[in-house]
Amino acid sequence: MNRVTNMSGKQSVTEQDTSTGRAIEHDSFAIIDREAGPHAYDPAQWSIVRRMIHASADFELNGLTAFHPEAVPAGLAALRQGGRPLVADVGMILAGLSCARLARFGLTPYQFIADADVIAQAQAQGTTRAVQAMRKALGLGLLDGAIIGVGNAPTALLEVLRLIATEGVRPALVIGMPVGFVSAAESKGLLVEVSPVPWITVQGRKGGSTLVVAAIHALLALAAETGEPLS
């Protein structure tokens, strides 16, 4: 792990291995801080939003990104405790995550969207693969205490919300950012009404696996700063 210094003078963890890479990341964050303008996020929340902007060059995320009041503390507590499942709706999220960072905190990644039994159940029950993938994760005992990332399938997020409401499932954190035009905004609108489980989301149609990956990496970087104040 290496570090870059942001405009506030605080150092942040980075996995850039070269001085050139660290300089580019430092300059990118400085540009984002300068051009983003005012925001209502606390420093820890902003480090997540800023990395999402860095991943997408979309400054509308400053304002569209919403946090449950306990989202960051709950996410960091889960990471620092270690050994948690990380359940994603699609493989794209897992492909984008740093294996070294996951290993540091003992996170085990899972996604079941392409499993043969998931496909068969979706066909038999007239649902989606995303729904059945989350049901499979439930059956394997992977959802309670997990970090759940949804960046593609609104039906996956809706199923997680159903399981929270009807089955008493209690993930440590839901990062719900499905992108799209059918049920994406609606599923996230329901997520922000959930109080028992902490969440991070992007309101409206915007979202995607890239943003989920960025949010997770930002949380992993914060968790690596053990003992350092978040504000």
With CA atoms as reference, report the closest residue to 222 among 123, 121, 130, 104.
Answer: 104
pLDDT of residue 14: 53
pLDDT of residue 1: 47
Q: Which of 26, 54, 68, 217 is catalytic?
A: 54
Question: Does the structure show a pLDDT above 90 at 228?
Answer: no
CA count, 13 A, side-chain hemisphere, 26: 17
> What tokens appear for 102 in the block?
């996951």
Q: Which helix (H) or strand (E) holds 99?
A: helix 99-104
**pTM exceeds cut of 0.95:** no
Q: What is d(CA 208, CA 180) in angstroms, rounded to the nearest whole number? A: 8
- For residues 32 and 54, is the Cβ–Cβ distance under 8 A? yes
Question: Does the structure show a pLDDT above 80 at 20?
Answer: no
With CA atoms as reference, report the closest residue to 171 among 154, 157, 183, 184.
Answer: 157
Q: Which long-range contacts (CB under 8 A, 24 or more apart) does 185-192 make?
A: 186/154, 187/154, 187/155, 187/157, 187/158, 187/161, 188/157, 190/158, 190/161, 191/157, 191/161, 192/66, 192/68
CA distances from 155 to 127, 176, 194 (A): 9, 11, 16
Q: What is d(CA 41, CA 72) in angstroms, rounded to the nearest whole number? A: 11
Determine what percent of the chain is predicted with pLDDT higher than 90: 84
Question: Does the structure show a pLDDT above 90 at 168?
Answer: yes
What is the tens place of the pLDDT at every residue in 138-158?
999 999 999 999 999 999 999
- For residues 138 and 156, is the Cβ–Cβ distance under 8 A? no
With CA atoms as reference, report the closest residue to 129 among 161, 169, 89.
Answer: 89
What is the tens place of the pLDDT at every residue in 71-94?
999 999 999 999 999 999 999 999
What is the tens place of the pLDDT at every residue in 172-214?
999 999 999 999 999 999 999 999 999 999 999 999 999 999 9
pLDDT grade for 6, boundaries at 50, 70 and 90: very low
pLDDT grade for 231, boundaries at 50, 70 and 90: very low
- For residues 37 and 12, is the Cβ–Cβ distance under 8 A? no
pLDDT of residue 229: 39
Question: Does the structure show a pLDDT above 70 at 12?
Answer: no
User: Residue 54 catalytic?
Assistant: yes
For 122, the 3-state DSSP assignment is helix
Question: Does the structure show a pLDDT above 80 at 8?
Answer: no
Q: What is d(CA 207, CA 23) in angstroms, rounded to the nearest whole number? A: 28
pLDDT grade for 225, boundaries at 50, 70 and 90: confident
- Is 173 or 2 the better-scoring residue by pLDDT? 173
Q: What is d(CA 141, CA 137) in angstroms, rounded to the nearest whole number? A: 6
- For residues 30 and 6, is the Cβ–Cβ distance under 8 A? yes
Average pLDDT rounded to a whole number, residues 119-132: 97
